[in-house]
Amino acid sequence: MKTVGILGGIGPLAGLFLFQRIIANTQALTDQEHVPVLLYSNTAILDRTSAILADDRTVERQLITSARLLEDMGADILIVACNTAHYYIDAIQAAIGIPVLNIIQLAIDQAKTYGCDRVMVMGTTATRSTGIYSKVIQQAGLREILFNRDDQEQIMKIIYQDIKAGKPDDVVAELMTILDRAAQSRPQAIIVGCTELSIFSSQLSLEKINIIDPIELVARKAIELAGGQLTEICSIL
């Protein structure tokens, strides 16, 4: 089987969660039937949102260095475990000789598979301001509905002051309050566009609205490309 490289640490829980989802979505009766995975949790990488908003290219260099390290260690496939860091995905791909899976493209493809025309993306302010999802949504012929300013600020608070700070107790309730308001805009799908929010995606649900988790999608795609056996349905670990 091929080896999957996870560029993690951005944030630390996100890389670990992706690793867990790869394990959970692999149909295996023995250790040897699981996909080989290299997880590099590089917590020294600067905050992506701050760097993008300040037009600081340091993060790009750090991501490329980390990707090259994983390639040198034997990774055949790379996943960048951060939605916001996909702002640099083309530069990372150009710097290495192994394929980089694009979680944004996978999410939009899934929305199209579901037959959705109206989508919302729940992610960081940098993800929103750079348009890394918006461009792919437009190219797919879909319509993006934005969270209002107050809810976007609350999403950022949940990511930075709750999850990253190790205070997750009220996250699901806070997210559901935001999603209930978002439902009034009648989206057909809401993409969990932050890898740290993905940790809670299985606990989020709205009537007649698809919740799309890019981490779940990329975990299953990586297993498939690596030559592993997929579970029939997404498993809970």
Residues forming the active site = 82, 194
Rounded distance between C-alpha atoms, residue 76 and residue 83, angstroms: 21
The string of DSSP letters for 6-59 reads EEE-SSHHHHHHHHHHHHHTB--SSGGGSPPEEEEE-TTSPPHHHHHHTT-THH
The residue among 130, 171, 167, 132 whose CA lies nearest residue 154 is 171
Query: What is the distance between the terminal CA atoms of the chain, rounded to a whole angstrom?
Result: 22
State which H helix or E strand residue 66 sits in: helix 58-72
